[in-house]
Amino acid sequence: MTEYWVSQGNKWCDICKIWISNNPASIRNHELGQRHKANVSLKLSTMREEKAAKDKEQKAAVRVMEQIESKAKRSYQKDLASFQEARDSNANALLAEDNNKGTGGSSEYLKVVSLASFQLGNELMVIQCSLALVDLSILLTI
């Protein structure tokens, strides 16, 4: 019956940011042109630079994390040594106090202090110290 005219439309070139006719000859002509080739090479070089910058940033982040982890590990070792030193000095002080009182049974008390420090680690030194203040007779009745 009646035929109506349909336009071919246009094609958008993402690289050049322009509209071109949507037929094979125009597309081929555009893609073989100097402007399109220059834009393609510019886009590829930009992508390479962005990837290099991203890789450099990731390497810097990894390096910073390694530094943080090494400092945390050193701090942990220092805290652990400090805790063990405090535990030993508290145990020695209690042994000396126990020997001065002449009550005996200090080896049982040492076992309790060692067990408490082993279970609690270095994070709850206050609890270990409070155990050191508990009388041996109370601990034996528990």
Q: What pLDDT, on the 0 to 100 scale, is given for residue 130? A: 45
Q: What pLDDT, on the 0 to 100 scale, is given for residue 2? A: 67
Backbone angles phi, psi at 14, to 5 degrees: -65, -30
* pLDDT tens-digit series, residues 34-84: 999 999 999 999 999 999 999 999 999 999 999 999 999 999 999 888 888
Confidence of residue 129 (pLDDT cuts 50, 70, 90): very low
Write down the domain spans for the chain. 10-141
Backbone angles phi, psi at 135, to 5 degrees: -70, 145
| Chain CA centroid to CA 112, Å | 37
Please check whether residue 4 is in contact with residue 12, taking contact to mean a CB–CB distance below 8 angstroms: no
Angle at 89 between CA 139 and CA 136, to 5 degrees: 15
* pLDDT tens-digit series, residues 81-107: 888 888 888 877 777 776 776 554 444
